[in-house]
Structure 1
Amino acid sequence: MAENNFVYPRDVSAFGFDWGQLALTVAPELNGAKRFSGGVVDLPPGQGHSRHNHPGAEEIIFVISGEGEQMVETPEGVPVVQKVGPGCTVFVPEDRFHSTLNTGSGPMQLFVVYSPAGPELGLRDLPDFRLIPKAE
């Protein structure tokens, strides 16, 4: 595999869902990343991903733009909701349930990182999954 060290979201196919989309820009199958994967999530106003977890993986969520509510459950399963905006970094511990909702009037964009790589592959099994071809 040739190294692909510089990737824009428009350069890759995206995972589309009813709530938004994820463009993986770092992944083992894309550029040989070994310890993590990641990409750009776009959430339209009023949309977000529902409560879920990533067994055996940690996640970092960085808010690029927009504003919303981020929920991360405590180890005891108590949901903690925090307002988030540009520049906020959210750490989601291994196996922890979490969700994100765009509460703003415009789009919300996030950069997410999974470690180890792999949790994003399960998204392909969701009923509303569709592959959005890369921009030409």
Structure 2
Amino acid sequence: MVKDNYFIYPEDVSAFGFDWGKLSLTVAPEVNGASRFSGGVVELPSGEGHSRHNHPGAEEIIFVISGEGEQMVEDEHGDPVTRRVASGCTIYIPESRFHSTKNTGGGPMLLFVVYSPAGPELALRGLPDFRLLPQRR
């Protein structure tokens, strides 16, 4: 757990690194004792994105902090719905729905993601390109 567990910057925690970008969990049971949700900052370099996946039993909120891209969310019939998203957009991913995000802009795309309940992000540790990146401060 970080020293001051109320005010956390992405640099204060170890990040999950992947070929497509990184996730810095700033809210999670193991970071600050949050029990009902987890979340953090995702950074996607230009042209990168995470592939279609889902979080069984969990909902997700994605807020676009900066950048622009394409977001796909599966509808209630299993059909993909894709929209252009940019800073200020909030995306709701219903429980267990497949989704993907791709940065189509010229610079980094920053997202804040929230999982409810906490836990789906831990499955990311099992991906073949997972690496733990040390905290930066």
Normalising by structure 1, what TM-score? 0.98
Give structure 2 stretches of 5+ with no counterpart.
Answer: none
RMSD: 1.0
How far the C-alpha of 1:3 sits from its partner, in A, is 6.0
The 2-side partners of 1:109 and 1:116 are apart by: 22
Residue equivalent to 1:101? 102
Summarize the alignment of residues 76-91 of structure 1 with structure 2, pairs less than 5 Å apart: 76-91=77-92
Q: What SS does the corresponding residue of 1:83 show, helix, strand or coil?
A: strand
In the alignment, is residue 67 of structure 1 matched against residue 42 of structure 2?
A: no
Q: Give the % identical residues.
A: 75
Within 5 Å, give how 1:1-136 maps onto structure 2: 4-136=5-137
In structure 1, runs of 5+ residues without a counterpart are none
Equivalent-residue separation in structure 1 for 2:4 and 2:59 (angstroms)? 25
Structure 2 counterpart of 1:73, one-letter code = E
- The normalised TM-score by structure 2 is 0.97
**Would you identify which runs of 4 or more consecutive aligned residues in structure 1 move more than 3 Å?**
none
Aligned length: 136
